[in-house]
Structure 1
Amino acid sequence: MDSKTLGKEKSISTQGTSPLPSVWGSHRALDPQSGMAGSRALLLLAQVLGLAATEMALLTMDPPWSTIFRGESVTLRCRGSHPHRQQPTTWYHNDKILARTDTDTYRITNARQKQTGRYKCQSPGSVSSNPITLIVSYDWLILQVPSHVVFEGEPLCMQCRGWDPGSMTSVRYFRDGADITTLYASDKQLCIPQAKTHQSGRYRCTGQMNSFLSVIKRESQELHVFIKELFSSPVLSVASSAETLEGSPLNLSCVTHLSPHSPHTILWYLFYRNSTVLQGPETSSKYQVPTVGLADTGSYFCEVQADNSSIRKQSAQVPIAVRRVPVSGVSLDVQPHEGQLMEGQRLVLSCSVAAGTGSISFSWHREGSAEVLGKGTRYEILSAQQNDDGQYYCMASNGDVPAQSPRLQVTVVGVSSLFYCHIRAPLLLAALGSLLSGLVAVHVLTARSKDPTGVKQ
């Protein structure tokens, strides 16, 4: 392959008009406008707290292809959390130390098959980087796929290259055996604008190559391409598993897990009730209602979206029913005291509750009767009669299960009974007194008839 071809390939990976830089730029942590400021703030906070502020270094390759022809060149770049430290960068090939450099780059020129393998790096102040696999091929035809991680929602671009690019025609692309050329291919490159995780698979390409006076169909090696999940599908978590009562707080969390390969990606959260946005988009994954009411009943879910990405994911819906605080502690008060009164007196019963929210309704009842005597917190009988005797109680409800008070005995003493006790009793005593007086008189007369003074001398 001549130098013009190499120069052309290098320009493809660096020109802003090519779709490749979109993939290459998927590591948003490298852009100071998108993530580096947040990274430095986190590091500063960790240092203040005395924590270990080490991050994984990021290894990239230019051109960004995992497969190259023998004799081509690539540049490895290692970026860590402390790029300005004057310490060497360590490079590894198949887990063995390859070199130490004073810069964050390592150049492979005139590549040979022995340089095939897995590369890693370690920059000052960072832990060992992500691995990158480089394949130095001696084949006639290769499929070049990104060497870096491609996340869902990002473009996935690849190209089919022949050893002699000018002689190749009729390029076709396949995934898991299915021809996908007409769906995504343009000229000699294939780009999926917004890759999905289910588009991971085994990719290969074929092409017709002119060889002297014949045309030979060539086929590349099959490569596994994995579209990584940027963040997991969120789950809406309710802080308390108990029922939600009116007046209590409601605390919701939208739980998701960001890929460790994209630690600086900013996630935005939205919270919904019955498809209405309650909060967001915000970077906070929590939603709080200090005091809930019945109007807060509904179906809740959350949505997560990544900054500078088309990926949005929603949680499953969680029904939350806000119930009133049940009525409890129903008690009775009565006047006169202890519920004992004379016929004709006024009877006043009062009902109250110790707990319960919302509009509470009261009803009055007497044991043995299905009739509702009255409504409200008070029940009065202006002139009690003897037939008002009985056990009284009240029922209280706020729309939930009614609560009942203890029963209270009411005793009404009739006027006739009082007259018998207070009028007839003295008359009986008077009659008994007259009888006793008569008996005394008879006794005296009898005694006198036996006196000796009555005997003649």
Structure 2
Amino acid sequence: METKGLHCMFFAETSFKAAVEIVEGDSRIFSGETVRLRCRIPDNWSASTYLWFLGSEQLGQSGQHLILNLDLAYLFYWCHVGLLSENDTVLFCTFHLARGWAILKVSPSPGLVGNTLTLTCRVRGNTPLHEVILYKDGVEVMRQNGLNPHFSVTNLTQEHEGMYSCRASWDVRRRTHSVISSATPVQVLEVLTQPILEIFTSEELTKGQKMKLICHLQYNAPAPAPPVEYYFYRNRIRLGTATSVNYDLVSWKPGQYSCKARVPKLGLLRWSEPKSFEQETGTL
């Protein structure tokens, strides 16, 4: 038997909201199962055309959706979106083939720190199972009755990252059959990473000039994500009010600079490490 894993990505400088997404089917499926894809673009974009390709060959299907019945060893699909007011966008979706009778589905992927991850052991044909075992990096971590093939990992931390697989067993005519899935990577992200402060100045500062403080971070909350508030400090004294953008222009003075990111609705708050700035030399 064959299984496939679906990996979709996009290359669109105009917006991070453009993507190829699955609207029917699963991210990891058995050969012969059906998947429906959609070229998703932001509501404020206007598309004139959607063209689908397999490698260099244009497919007969056009429009925003593509229906696939997968039976090939390696498939590289992509969608070309012709836009009326922006640069054209190219979105990619790649299917990889793996051998095996079982699939381990991970949802959501990637996981977020503090949330719950569900790992489901699927066997072709929905065979009634009597036992399922979950492995992390080849070591057994959970075992349960096959009536419940769903494993829950709660209160995620980054220590839960690794390669996961499952073993499923069932009985046929008084004989026990057992299969194991291929390893599936599990990634766990911080919802809000620790900020890193960057200070931009001209080489020779003069009185009245400003320097730019930039607060870099990753914000991984699922949509609709509440906004991040940014605060900037010199010697732990706040510079101005909260801002919705990750930078600020401030008068240059010596001191210890830092930034703080806060998401009030999620109860998240992270500080950057302080960074020194010397007025006399204009150096960090």
TM-score range (shorter-chain normalised) is 0.5 to 0.7
The CA deviation string for residues 237-273 of structure 1, in whole angstroms up to 9 with x for no partner, is 334499999x8666451242669xx9x9865423345
Q: Identity, % of aligned pairs?
A: 18
Question: 1:128: which partner in 2?
Answer: 90
Residue of structure 2 aligned with 1:176, choices 137, 143, 146: 137
Quick one: higher RCO (CA 8 Å, sep 6+), 1 or 2? 2
Residue in 2 that maps onto 1:101: 61
Structure 2 CA distance for partners of 1:53 and 1:90, relative to 1, 3 Å: same
Shift of 1:59: 0.6
* 2:183 maps to amino acid: E
Q: TM-score, normalised by structure 1?
A: 0.44
Q: Which has the higher strand share?
A: 2
Report which of the two has the higher share of helix.
Answer: 1
Distance 2:135 2:170 in 1: 18
Q: Structure 1 residues 315, 188: CA separation in 2 closer, same or farther (over 3 Å shift)? A: same
Partner Cα separation in structure 2 for residue 202 and residue 104 of structure 1: 34
**Bigger radius of gyration among the two:** 1
Match of 2:274 among 307, 312, 317: 317
1:46 corresponds in structure 2 to: none
Conserved? CA contact 2:26–2:35, under 8 Å: no
TM-score normalised by structure 2 residue count: 0.65
* 8 Å contact kept, 1:171–1:205: yes
2:260 matches 1:303: yes
Structure 1 gap segments, 5+ residues each: 1-26, 28-51, 324-457
Counterparts of 2:118 and 2:149, CA distance in 1? 11
Contact 1:249 1:288 in 2 (8 A): no
Which ranges in structure 2 are unaligned for 5 or more consecutive residues? Answer: 1-8
* SS at 2:273 equivalent: coil
Query: Distance in 2 between the 1:277 and 1:64 partners?
Result: 50
Contact 2:120–2:150, Cα closer than 8 Å, also in 1: yes
Q: Is the 8 A contact 2:197 2:216 kept in 1?
A: no
Shift of 1:104: 1.1
Q: 1:214 to 1:291 in 2, by over 3 A?
A: closer
**Cα distance in structure 2, aligned partners of 1:218 and 1:198:** 27
One-letter amino acid of the counterpart of residue 103, structure 1:
G
Any idea what the Cα deviations from partners look like across 1:182-219, whole Å, max 9, x if unmatched? Answer: 8xxx9422455676666443221112222221223321
Describe how 1:232-311 pairs up with structure 2 within 5 A: 234-240=195-201, 251-256=211-216, 267-272=228-233, 278=239, 281-290=242-251, 299-304=256-261
Aligned length: 256
CA contact (8 A) 2:136 2:165 kept: yes
* In 2, Cα distance between equivalents of 1:98 and 1:195: 42
2:47 touches 2:82 (CA, 8 Å); kept in 1? yes
Looking at structure 2, the residues matched to 278 and 322 of structure 1 have their Cα atoms a distance apart, in angstroms, of 17
Deviations 1:53-75, CA, capped at 9 Å, x for gaps? 58784111134633212332221
Quick one: structure 1 residues 112 and 104, their matched pair in 2 at CA, closer, same or farther if it must change by over 3 Å? closer
Give the superposed CA RMSD.
Answer: 4.6
Q: Which moves more between the two structures, 271-280 or 202-211?
A: 271-280
**1:180, 1:270 → 2: CA distance?**
42
Q: Distance in 2 between matches of 1:195 and 1:291?
A: 42
